[in-house]
Chains A and B, each alone.
Chain A
Amino acid sequence: MAFGIGTISSIGSAASDLFSIGAHRTKAEGLRLEAGNYDAAAGFADENAEFTRVSTAIKQYQLDRNISQTIGGQAADVAGAGFAASGSALDLMRDSAREGELAKAVGAQQGLITEEGYKVQGQTYRNMGAAARLAAQSEDDAGDFAKFTAGIHAASAIASFFIK
């Protein structure tokens, strides 16, 4: 193929293709980040499933306790006597202590869950900020380059007046 319009067009296409390499790489990187975020979201969903399992176990425990209390109350009624510092009274004290510890532990765990949620949310906003800055920089670069190419187009147009 002799040098001509086709050659010029090929050079232009080659330049365009070179820039498209970076464009495709950037898109691929974005998609990989999206995939990573979906994996992380799946992990958080798994954690929530575990929290729900633990919560259900706590509720079951409390239900068991209520049943025991009811039965204990019935036994006391049947006996028709007050509590002594033994037997049922000690059971109730132990039970209260267990419930108190459980309530404290649950409160602490709930605090950690909420804290983690806010931390992750903060990080995702920072990640979005970084991605937005990358996109803004690319737009700036394209804008700067457009000025350069506009200058070449203008110079070429002016030159065409003088070239016979």
Chain B
Amino acid sequence: MPNIREFQPPQDLGLRPDDRAMESTANSGRRIAALYGQSAEAQSDIGRRVKSVVEHVGS
């Protein structure tokens, strides 16, 4: 019987989803919001200092 060699693709041929984009995007969203919160807190701190100075100088 003739031996006809066939092309054999890999057994696990298929697309594997990549979670890198999804996970890094969600994680960075949380981190960015926290960093913006930190920035906001620093701005509030300036406001508190201004208030303190005004009250101190005025009294």
Contacts and interface: CB of A to CB of B under 8 A. Distances in A.
Interface in B1-56: 1-2, 4, 6-10, 13-56
Interface residues of A, number: 84
A37 B53 CA distance: 40
B46 A19 contact: yes
> Chain B: interface residue count, which band?
35 or more
Given A5-B59, A58-B13, A99-B7, A134 B18 contact: no
A134 B24 CA distance: 20
Contact of B57 (A7, A27, A34, A156): A156
Interface of A: 5, 7-9, 11-13, 15-20, 22-24, 26-27, 29-31, 33-38, 40-41, 44-45, 47-49, 51-52, 54-56, 58-59, 62, 76, 82-83, 89, 92, 95-97, 99-100, 102-103, 106, 109-110, 113-114, 116-121, 124-125, 127-128, 131-132, 134-135, 137-139, 141-142, 145-146, 149, 152-153, 156
